[in-house]
């Protein structure tokens, strides 16, 4: 199954990377270009730890009622920056809030990006870590894509304590159930 994190990188990303390393788990980080520009060393740390990096637009703006040119700019700017910082060009894209709009598919094809949603979202911005872990444990099975957040949109130094607590509780549960925790691409390749 795949574990994903949206909205980063953030100042809290190193704590999340430590938890993933402790449990030998890999994940996909859907990053915002604005945050990657602000914290390039943390984006490099994600890549250096062997995690997958996906595109989550530049500014995390909803894509509904937006032009194809707007969408292309938001996504292409992030593609270019991620490649500049890490040497890797994202292959996956997740729309902010999961909202897609006319023309997005054409932009994704043009930029050679596969769209990725989630099978369960943790709601980690509004629930306790224990509640998030329980919610995602119930949704966990082979082929699941779980969505959490290592940032809070474009906020500097966001409070993601509920996310960190959820991951701390969730990872051992998943391993006890013999679920391999990996990136989206690694899961799809299997």
User: Known catalytic residues?
Assistant: 6, 149
CA 40 to chain centre: 16
Q: Which parts of 10-49 are beta strand (E)?
A: 28-31
| Cα–Cα distance, 43 to 49 (Å, whole number) | 10
Q: Looking at 59-103, list the stretches that DSSP marks H as alpha helix, in order from N- to C-terminal side.
A: 68-86
Q: Which residues pair with 3 in a beta bridge?
A: 146
Type and span of the H or E element at 128: none
Q: What are phi and psi of 125, to 5 degrees?
A: -85, -10
């Amino acid at each position: 199954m795949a574990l994903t994190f949206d909205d980063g990188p953030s100042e809290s990303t190193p704590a999340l990377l430590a938890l993933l390393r402790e449990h030998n788990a890999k994940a996909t980080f859907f990053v915002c270009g604005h945050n990657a520009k602000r914290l390039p060393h943390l984006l490099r740390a994600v890549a250096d730890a062997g995690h997958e990096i996906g595109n989550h637009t530049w500014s995390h703006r909803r894509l509904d009622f937006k032009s194809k040119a707007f969408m292309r700019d938001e996504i292409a700017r992030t593609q270019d920056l991620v490649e500049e910082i890490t040497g890797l060009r994202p292959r996956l894209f997740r729309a902010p809030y999961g909202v897609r709009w006319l023309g997005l598919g054409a932009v994704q094809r043009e930029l050679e990006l596969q769209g990725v949603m989630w099978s369960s979202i943790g709601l980690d911005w509004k629930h306790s870590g224990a509640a998030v872990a329980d919610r995602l444990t119930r949704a966990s099975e082979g082929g699941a894509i779980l969505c959490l957040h290592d940032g809070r949109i474009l906020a500097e130094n966001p409070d993601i304590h509920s996310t960190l607590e959820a991951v701390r509780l969730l990872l051992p549960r998943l391993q006890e159930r013999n679920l391999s925790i990996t990136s989206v691409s690694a899961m799809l390749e299997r």
